[in-house]
Amino acid sequence: MPWLSILMAVPVLGAVGVALLPKGSDKLAKQLALAVSLVVLALTVAMAVQFSPNGNRFQFEEKYAWIPSFGVHYGVAVDGIALVLIALSAILVPIVVLASWHDAEGATRLDLKSEAVPPKRSAKTYFALLLVLEAMMIGVFAATDIFLFYVFFEAMLIPMYFMIGSYGGVQRSYAAVKFLLYSLFGGLLMLVAVIALYVVAEKNTFMFPELVGAIQDPTTQKWLFAGFFIAFAIKAPLWPFHTWLPDAAAQAPAGAAVLLVGVLDKVGTYGMLRFCLELFPDASKFFTPLVIVLSVVGIIYGAIVAIGQTDMKRLIAYTSISHFGFIAMGVFAMTQNAQSGATLYMVNHGFSTGALFLVAGFLIYRRGSAQIADYGGVQSVAPLLAGAFLIAGLSGLSLPGLAPFVSEFMVLIGTYERYAVPAIIGATGVILAAIYILWMYKRTMNGPTAEPVKGFTDLNGREKWVVAPLIAMIVALGFFPKPLLDVINPAVDQTLTNAQVTDKQPVSTVAEKKGAGQ
Amino acid sequence: MTTHYLVLSALLFAIGGAGVLIRRNAIVVFMCVELMLNACNLAFVTFARQHGNLDGQLIAFFVMVVAAAEVVIGLAIIVMIFRTRRSASVDNANLLKY
Amino acid sequence: MNGGTIEAPTIEYALLAPMLLVFGAAVVGVLIEAFAPRYLRKSIHVPLTLLALAGAFLLTILQAVREGVPTTPAAMGAVAVDGPALFIWAIILVLAFVSTLLINDDEQFVAQAAAVPGSSDEEDAVRHGYAQTEVYPLLLFSVGGMLLFPAANDLLVMFVALEVLSLPLYLLCGLARRRRLLSQEASVKYFLLGSFSSAFFLYGMALVYGYAGSIDLRAISSSLGTVVGQDTLLYVGMAMLGVGLLFKIGAAPFQAWKPDVYQGAPTAVTALMASTVLVAAFGAVLRVFWVALGNLDWDWRPVMWGVAILTMVVGAILAITQTEIKRMLAYSSIAHAGFLLTGVIATGGAEQNKEALSALLFYLVAYGFTTVGAFAVVTMVRDAGGEAGHLSRWAGLGKRAPLLAGIFAFFLLAFAGIPLTSGFFGKYAVFAAAVAADALPLVVVGVVTSAIAAFFYVRVIVLMFFSEPAADGPSIAVPTVGTSAVVTLAAAATVVLGVFPEPVLNLADQAASALFIR
Amino acid sequence: MQSPAEIVPHSGGVIGVSWLMIALPLLGAAILLLGGRRTNKWGHFLGVAMSLGAFVVAVLSFMELLGLDPDQRRRGFELFEFIPGMVNLGMLIDPLSISFALLITGVGSLIHIYSVGYMSHDRDRRRFFAYLNLFVAAMLLLVLSDNYVGLFIGWEGVGLASYLLIGFWQHKPSAATAAQKAFIVNRVGDFGLLIGIFTIWTTFGSLAFGDLTHEVTGQASQGTLTAIGLLLLLGACGKSAQLPLQSWLLDAMEGPTPVSALIHAATMVTAGVYLVVRSGAFFEAAPTAQLVVTIVGVATLLAGAIIGCAKDDIKKGLAGSTMSQIGYMMLGAGLGPAGYAFAIGHLITHGFFKANMFLGAGSVMHAMNDEVDMRRYGALFPVMKITAVTFIVGYLAIIGFPLLSGYYTKEGIIETAMHHNAILGWLAVLGAGLTGFYMSRMVFMTFFGKKRWADDAHPHESPAVMTWPLIILAIGSIGLGAFLVLGNRFMTFLSPAVGLPADVPEPHVFGVGPAALATLALVAAGAAFAWFRYGAAQVPALAPRGSFLTTFARRDLYGDALNEALLMRPGQWLTRIAVFFDNRGVDGLVNGLAAGIGGTSGRLRRVQTGYVRSYALSILFGAAAVVGALLYVGNI
C-alpha cells in the first residue's frame, strides 16, 4: 500500500475540493478542511504503527522514474527521523485548521479596527492553501530523491507566501516578499549544489541512498556542503540569516506562523541532518566548528533579542531562533545523544512553539493587538487562557516534565560530550529563556487587569480543543519520550555511521559496568 | 591591389555608421544605413574578385534587392510617423524611455 | 559553384514544404488584399493563416516521423533541414499559430494605418469598422522568415531570412489600435536599429566571405585554420555576425530596442516577437556559432560569457524598477535571453554537446508558451485608453478576477523558475548543462540574477493579490474565444511541462541527437 | 570510615508502591486544576486527603524499612525508561530519602490542614491547594528519585510550584515580580546543577546514584571532582537561598504564609542540603569543594542572622532566620559524614519549629488583618494564647534552648565544625548569639510590650483548624531533637545512606566544653539585649533611621542593589543594544542590499534615454567591444 503517496494525495484532493466549493460556503470549507486533515492524521497514525524501528532504515518505499532524462525519480520513503516529522505535521495541521477558524474573516469580525487584524479574505482559499502546504510538508520529509526534495523545498514557499501575504498583519506584503525572496535565494544556491552533486557524482540518479558516499574529493564536498548548508541555514534559520523570520512570523496569521516555525523551518535542520552530514561527511566535520559557533551565537543572541521585543509574535519568533540554535548545535555535535535530542527537539519545538503562537493568537484575536504593553492582568479574567499560555511558555523555557526539556537536555549533554564550552555557553540559554518567557507572562497576564482586557472571555470550546491536544502531547512526551526516541535512535545511528563518526566513551568504568543495563 | 577597395568599403561603412549616430532626420539616418549596406556590397565584390569566384557578386545583387525592400518598408514607416508628428526628426520620437 | 557552367539546382521540395506552404499562403494573402472585397478579407485571412500554419506544422511532424531526419543540407546546401531545425520549426509554428489567435482581435490593430491618429479619417475608418487585414500576410511572411532563419545553411540565405522575418515585424509594430504614437515610435526605432544591426551582420558576412571565400557554413568551418594571415578578417567578421544575431535575441549591450518596441507594439505582436522571434534567433545563433565557427569556440566562448553575464544582470536589475507591465516583461525576456545564452555557451563548439542543445530547445518551448500566455493576459486587462499597462492599475486584480490573476501569477512564477512550473525545468536543464560544461561561475551568476529577477515577478503578485483594488480599476475584457484559448493552452503547457516534462524532453533529445548537420 | 551500602533492587511490599507518594498529590493537583470550578466546594479536602495519603504511604514504607537489617535499607527499583540509553526514572527508598519524605508529607499535611482555615476567605482556595499538592509531588520526586535527572525534574518542579505560590496573588505586581525573581534566580542555580550533571555523565557514563559510589568517583581527577562539587553547590545555593543567590528568598514572602512555612522554610529551601548530602561521594572526594560548602554555609548563616536583626516585617525576619539556619545545615553538610547526620537532623527539627513559627506568624497576621509590621503588634500574648505559646516554643527551639530540638541538632553542627576547623566553629557560635537576639526581638515585639495596633485591629485567636497544627508542630519542636540525637539514633539510622563517619562524637545532654557554653552564653546575652531594647523599652511605631549597620541589614546587605548594578542594568543595556543591532545591523544589511540593487536599477534605467541615436551608439560601442574582445582573445 503506497502510504506516503496517499498521505500526499489526500490533502491535495482535499485542497481541490475546498477550492471548488461555491462562493460563500466558507463554513463548509472549514469543516471539509478539518475533516481532510483529520483523515490525513488517521492515515499517518495507521502508517506509523506499521513502522518497525529496527527494520530497514527506509520503509514504505516507493520509487518510480519521473524524469529519466534527468535521472529524477519520484522516490519517497521514511526513516525514523522523517516519520516523526511527518507525524508532527499531520498532528499540527488539524489543530491549526481549528485554530484558524476565524483568521480569514479579518477585521470585520471585531468592532475594533486594529492594525494587527488584516481585512477580510476568502476563507476557502486559506484552507485550500493550508492543505496544499500539508501535502508538500509531508512530501519534503518523505522524499528520498534529492531532486524531489528540492522541488518540494521550493514549492512549499508559494502557499506559505500567499498565506502570509493575503492573510497576515499590516506589513504582510513586505514580510511575505522578504520571506519568499530570502528563502528563494538560499534555494537557488542549493540548486547549483544539487546540479553539481549530480554532475560530479556521475551516478545518473538523484536517489539519496545511492548518492551517499558518492562524493569523495574533500574540496568538492566543501563547496557542495556550502551550497546545501546556506539554504538550510536560511530556512532554519540560523544566525545571521534569521531576520526574515521575525517579520514573517509576526505578520503571518497565528496558524500559518505555527506551520512556518513549527514545520517549514524544520526542513532546514532536517536537511542538515539528512543531507549535509551524510552526503558530505568530511566537509561536515570541517565546518563543524563554524556551525557550532553560529548555533551558540544564535542561542544567546536570539534569547537576548527576544527579551527586548515588545511584540508577542516577534518575541516568540526570536525564541525560536534561539531554539534552532540548539537544534543545529545538536545536529553538528555528532553524538548519538545530541542528534537524537536535536531530532526530538524538532518535534517538541513544533508543539511548544505551536501552542505559544496559537494562544498568543487567541489573545490577539481578543485584543486586536500583538503589543505586550496592550495587555495586563489577563489571568484574573481568563484563567484558562492564562494557564494555557503559561504551560506553553514553560515548555518554551523547557521546564523539566515538559517535552522540550528532554530534547534540550539531550542536545546539551550530547554536545557537552564533545564540545564542553559551547554546551556550557548554550546552557546559559536556559536562564535567558526563563527571563523572556516569564517577563512576557508577567507583563501580559499578571498585575491589575488593564481596561481593554476586562472584557476578555475565557477559552471557548473550539479553543480548548485547539490547546488541549498540544498540551497533552507536551506533557506526555515530557515524561515518556521513549516511543519517539526508540524510532529516532536507529535512524540517528545510521546517520552517524554514514557521517563516519563514533561517540566518545566516558573515562570511568561505570559505562561498562552497566553497559548491559543501558 | 584589392586592399584599397576594402579600405574604401570600410570607410563607407564607418561614414554610414557615423551618419546614423549624428544625423537627426529619419530619412537621412536611413540613407546612412543604406550606405552601410552598399559598403558591404563593395566589400563583397572585392572579395569575389580576390577569391576569383562569383559568390560575392551574386550576393551583391541579393543585397540590393533586400535594400530595396528595406527602402519600401522604411519609407512607409517614416512617412507614417511624419504625417502624425509633422516632423521626421528621430529625436522627437522619444516617448518610450526608461 | 565554380564559375563557368551553371547546372540547374536540385530542390528537395518535400523537405522545404512547410516553409513553402507558409510563404505560399502569404502570397495568397497578398492577392486576397488585392482582390477580395474588404468585408470578406478578414473572414478569409484568418482561416487561411491558421490553416497554413497548422498545415506547415503537420508537414514538419510528418517530415520528422516519416522521412526521418535528413543528414545532408537541402537546396544545394542552402537550407539544412535537420533535427534541431525541425524541432525549432515545430515550436515556431505552434507559437505562431497561438499568436495568430491573439492577433485575431479587433482591439489589437489600427483600423486604417494610413489615417493620422485623431484625424477625422480615423474616426471614419473606425466607424466603418475597417480593419488593417494586411496584418495576416505580413505575419505569414514573417513566420516564413523565421522558419528559414534557423535552417539557413549559408550566410546569404540567413541574411535574406533575417530581413524577411524583420521587415514585416517593423510594420506590424506600428499598427497598434490604441496609443498609436507609441506604436509608431516603436516601429521607427525597431526599423532603424534593426536595419542598422543587419548592416553589421552583412559586413561581418562580407569579411567572413573574404576570409573563407565562401558563405556556405560547412565551407567556412572547413576553411578555418587553413587560411594564413587573415585571422583579423575572420575575427572581426565573426564579431559582426555575432552583433547582428545578438541584436535579434536582445542580448546586452544590444538590448536597448527591446523594452521600447515591446511596449509600443500591439501586444499580440509583442507576444509573437517575444516567443517565435527569440526561438528563431537562437536557432540561427546556434547554427552559425556551432556549424560554422564551432572550431573557434575557444575564441568566441569567453566573449559569449561576458555577453551572457551582462545580459542576465542588465535584464534582472533594470526590470526591478519598471512600472509598465509590457516593459517589465521585455526586461524579463532580456534576462531569459541571458539564461539561454548560458545554454549556448554550454553547447560549446565542435564537440556538439547534445545535452545542452536539448536543454536549450526545451527552454525555448517552455519559455515561448509562458510568454505568449502572459502577453495574452495582458491584452485582457483593459481600461478606457486600451490595455491597462501601468502596474499600479493592476492592484487588487486578484479580487476582481481571481482566475485570471491566478493564471498570470502562475506564469510569473514560471518565469521566476519555481518548481512545478515549466520555467523551473527549463532553467534546471540549461544550468545543469552549463555546470556539466564547466561553466559553474556562469550558473552562479545565473541563479543570483534569477533571485533578483524573482523580486519583480513577486512584486506583481503582491500588487494583484495583497493590495486593495483601486476604485476605478481596469475592467477585464471579455476574452475572444481565441484569447481564452491561448491563455488556457499556455497555462496547460506551463503546468504539464512543469510536472511531466519527460515527453518534450525526449523529443528535444531526439532532435538534438541528430545534431546540426554540417 | 564506612561508605554507603549498595542499593538493593526492591519489589513488592509498601515500598514497591511507594511511588504512590508522588502519584497521589500529583493526581490531586491534576483533578483540582482540570476539574475547574466544579471542584471548588470540596477541592481543599481532596488536597488534604492526598497529602495525608502520601504521608501514610511514607510512614508505612518507613516501617517496612525499619524491618530490614541496616545494610539492606537502601531499596531501589525502576519505574520506567526515561531516556533510552541514558537514564531511567526510578525510586530510591533509603533512610535519607525516607526521612525527607516523612518531613515533607508530615509537615506538609499539617500545613495543608492549616491552610483550609487560613485560605478560607480566598476565592481561589482550590487553585491554592492544587499548587500545594503539585509542590508536594515535585518535592517527593526530588528526594525519592534514584538519579540526578529525576532529581532535577523534581528540583525544577518545586521551583515551578514555588513560582506559582509566591505569585498566587498575581494581581499584586509585587507578588508577580517576586515570583519571577525567585524562578530566575533559581534558574541560575539550576544552570550550575545542569552542567554538573553533564560533567558527571561525560565522566562516569551514568547518572544513577547507585552507580556513583565512592570507588567510582575515586577514579576521576581531582579537578573534575572539584568542578562537579562546585557546580552542584551552585545549584544548592540557588534552591537554598545561600550566598550569593540568596536575594529571592526575602521577596518570596509575598506568597501566602502557609507557602512560606512549607516551601520557604520547612522543605523546598532545604533541597540544597539534600543535594550536597546525596552527592557526598563527590564532595568527600573533593576537599576543596567541601571547604567552599562550609564557607558558603557560614557566610550565609551570618548574613541571614544580620538581616534578621533589622527586619520589622515578621515574615521577612523569619525568612532571614531561615537563611541563617540553612546556613548551619550547609555548614554541617560540608563537614562530611560526621556533619551529615546533624545537618539532616537540624533540617528536620528546623522543619518543625520554623513551620511552627511561620504558621504562628500567619495566625497573628490573620488576627491583625494581614498586618506584617511587628511595630504595629505588641502585647498579643493575652489575646491569642495558643498561638503565642506555640510560637514561643518554636522560638526557644530555634535559639537552642537546652533540651529543645534546635539545641541538639545545632549544637551538634557547631561541635563538629569546631572539631573540624575552629574558625568556622566560632563563627557559627557567633551566629547562634545573633539568633538569640533577633528571635527574642521578634517575640518581644510581637507578644509583649505595649499595644501598637492599628485602630481597626481586633485581634482574636485563630480557629482550631489552624491552632491544632501549631500545637502538633510545637510538640515536635520540643522533643524531636533529643529523640534523634541522643544515642546517635538518627546517625546510625542514616549511616547506610551516607556512610558512617570515622569518629562519632559522643552526644551529650548538656553543653560541655567551650563551644557549647559560649553558645549558651551568647544566646542568653542576645536575648537579654533584645529584652532590654524591645521588651522593656518602648518600641517606636515607625522604624527609626538607625545606624549604617541597620540600614545595611535592612537593605538585605545590599544584595539586590548589587544584582541590579552588576546584572540587571547591564543586561537591559545589552538587550537594547542587541535589538538595535539586529534591526539596524543584521536586518539593515539585508534591506540595504535590496535597496542598493533597487537604487542601481533606478539609476541604470536613465541610460534608456528614448533617443534612437543613443541606442545606435550603444550598439556601436557594443560591437566595438565585441570586436575588440574577439581580436584580443584570438591573438593570445
Q: Assign A506 a pLDDT band (cuts: 50, 70, 90).
A: low
Angle, in degrees to the nearest 10, between helices D271-278 and D314-333 = 0
Q: Domain map of chain D by residue range?
A: 8-554, 566-634
Q: Domain map of chain A by residue range?
A: 3-503
Specify the pLDDT at position A112. Answer: 47
Specify the pLDDT at position D620. Answer: 93
pLDDT-above-70 percentage for chain D: 98
| Touching chains, B (3+ CB pairs < 8 A) | C, D
CB-CB neighbors (< 8 A) of B10 in chain D: none
Compute the nearest-CA separation of D74 from chain A (Å): 19
Domain span including residue C37: 13-514
| Touching chains, C (3+ CB pairs < 8 A) | A, B, D
Q: What is the CA radius of gyration of chain D?
A: 31
Would C461 be classed as within a structural domain?
Answer: yes
Average pLDDT, chain D: 87
Compute the nearest-CA separation of A14 from chain C (Å): 19
Specify the pLDDT at position C145. Answer: 96
Coil/strand/helix, residue A503: coil
| Selected residue of A16, A21, A151, A154 to mutate for chain C interface (largest C Cβ count, 10 A) | A151
Please check whether residue C317 touches D, CB under 8 A: yes
Specify the pLDDT at position A118. Answer: 60
CB-CB neighbors (< 8 A) of D82 in chain A: 406, 479-482
| Selected residue of B62, B77, B86, B98 to mutate for chain C interface (largest C Cβ count, 10 A) | B77
For residue A514, pLDDT over 60 is answered with no
Q: Assign D281 a pLDDT band (cuts: 50, 70, 90).
A: confident
d(CA B60, CA B38): 8
Would C62 be classed as within a structural domain?
Answer: yes
d(CA A166, CA D461): 67
Task: State the residue for C-alpha cell 516553409.
Answer: C19
Specify the pLDDT at position A111. Answer: 44
Nearest chain C Cα to A169, which residue? Answer: C466
pLDDT tens track for A307-356: 999 999 999 999 999 999 999 999 999 999 999 999 999 999 999 999 99
pLDDT tens track for A9-67: 999 999 999 999 888 788 899 999 999 999 999 999 999 999 998 888 899 999 999 99
If you count residue pairs, one on A and one on C, with CB atoms under 8 Å apart, how many are there? 86
Length of chain B: 98
CB-CB neighbors (< 8 A) of D611 in chain B: 90-91, 94
Compute the nearest-CA separation of C15 from chain B (Å): 24
Task: Tell me which DSSP letter residue D285 carries.
Answer: T
Please check whether residue C181 touches D, CB under 8 A: no
Domain span including residue B67: 3-85
**Is there a contact between C419 and A173 if contact means CB atoms under 8 Å apart?**
no
Determine how many CB atoms are found less than 10 A away from the CB of residue A451.
9
d(CA D475, CA D480): 8
Can you name the residues that pair with D89 across neighbouring β-strands? D80
Residue D419 region, left (φ>0) first, then alpha (ψ -120 to 50), else beta?
alpha
Comparing A509-518, B40-49, D134-143, D458-467, which segment has the lowest mean pLDDT? A509-518
Q: Nearest Cα to D269, choosing from D230, D235, D222, D225?
A: D235
Please check whether residue D606 touches B, CB under 8 A: yes
Q: What is the mean pLDDT of residues D479-485?
A: 82
Nine-digit cell string for A423: 554546551
Number of structural domains chain C divides into: 1
Specify the pLDDT at position A106. Answer: 62
Nine-digit cell string for B87: 516632423
Mark which residues 110-139 of D lie under 8 Å from A by CB: none
Nearest CB among C197, C236, C321 relative to D619 is that of: C197
Compute the nearest-CA separation of A163 from chain C (Å): 10
Please check whether residue C229 touches D, CB under 8 A: no
Nine-digit cell string for D422: 575552629
Bigger pLDDT: D360 vs C5: D360
Q: Assign D1 a pLDDT band (cuts: 50, 70, 90).
A: low
Mark which residues 114-173 of A lie under 8 Å from C by CB: 119, 150-152, 154-155, 157-158, 161-162, 165-166, 172-173
pLDDT (tens digit, 0 to 9) for every residue of chain C, 518 residues total? 455 677 788 888 888 999 999 999 999 999 999 999 888 888 899 999 999 999 999 999 988 887 667 777 887 888 988 888 999 999 999 999 999 998 887 778 887 877 888 888 888 888 887 888 889 999 999 999 999 999 999 999 999 999 999 999 999 999 888 888 899 999 999 999 999 999 999 999 999 999 998 889 888 988 887 877 788 889 999 999 999 999 999 998 999 999 999 999 999 999 999 999 999 999 999 999 888 888 888 888 899 999 999 999 999 999 999 999 999 999 999 999 999 999 999 887 656 678 889 999 999 999 999 999 999 999 988 887 778 888 888 888 888 888 999 999 999 999 999 999 999 999 999 999 999 888 899 999 999 999 999 999 999 999 998 887 777 777 777 778 888 999 999 999 999 999 999 999 999 988 888 777 66
**Is there a contact between D608 and B17 if contact means CB atoms under 8 Å apart?**
no
Q: Nearest Cα to A304, choosing from A114, A431, A198, A200?
A: A431
Could you tell me where the DSSP H helices lie in C462-501?
A: 481-499
d(CA B27, CA B10): 22
Nearest chain A Cα to D151, which residue? Answer: A400
Q: Assign A113 a pLDDT band (cuts: 50, 70, 90).
A: very low
Nine-digit cell string for D413: 553542627
For residue A254, pLDDT over 80 is answered with yes
Which residues, including other chains, have CB under 8 Å from residue C284's CB and lie 6 or more apart? Answer: C149, C150, C152, C158, C161, C162, C245, C248
CA of D578: how far to CAs of A298, A315, A396, in Å?
Answer: 12, 13, 21
Coil/strand/helix, residue D243: coil
pLDDT tens track for D397-445: 888 888 888 888 888 888 888 888 888 888 988 888 888 888 888 888 8
pLDDT tens track for A257-311: 999 999 999 999 999 999 999 999 999 999 999 999 999 999 999 999 999 999 9
pLDDT tens track for D578-614: 889 988 888 889 889 989 999 999 998 888 888 988 9
Number of structural domains chain B divides into: 1
Compute the nearest-CA separation of D587 from chain C (Å): 18
SS3 letters for A454-479? Answer: CCCCCCCHHHHHHHHHHHHHHHHHHH
**Phi and psi at residue C212, to the nearest 5°:** -95, -20
Q: Nearest Cα to B34, choosing from B81, B68, B77?
A: B68
**Is there a contact between C185 and B81 if contact means CB atoms under 8 Å apart?**
yes
Provide the ipTM.
0.91
Would B90 be classed as within a structural domain?
Answer: no
Specify the pLDDT at position A83. Answer: 94
| CA A197 to chain centroid | 27
Helix (H) or strand (E) holding C156: helix C155-173
CB-CB neighbors (< 8 A) of D631 in chain C: 232, 235-236, 239
Coil/strand/helix, residue D241: coil
Q: Nearest Cα to A488, choosing from A316, A328, A339?
A: A339
Specify the pLDDT at position D557. Answer: 76
For residue D505, pLDDT over 70 is answered with no
Would B92 be classed as within a structural domain?
Answer: no
CB-CB neighbors (< 8 A) of A342 in chain D: none
* C43 burial via Cβ count (<10 Å: 0-12, 13-18, 19+): exposed
Please check whether residue D7 touches A, CB under 8 A: no
Nearest CB among A301, A416, A438 relative to D180 is that of: A438
d(CA D520, CA D110): 32
Q: Assign A245 a pLDDT band (cuts: 50, 70, 90).
A: very high
Nearest CB among A305, A309, A413 relative to D201 is that of: A413
pLDDT tens track for D161-177: 999 999 898 888 889 99
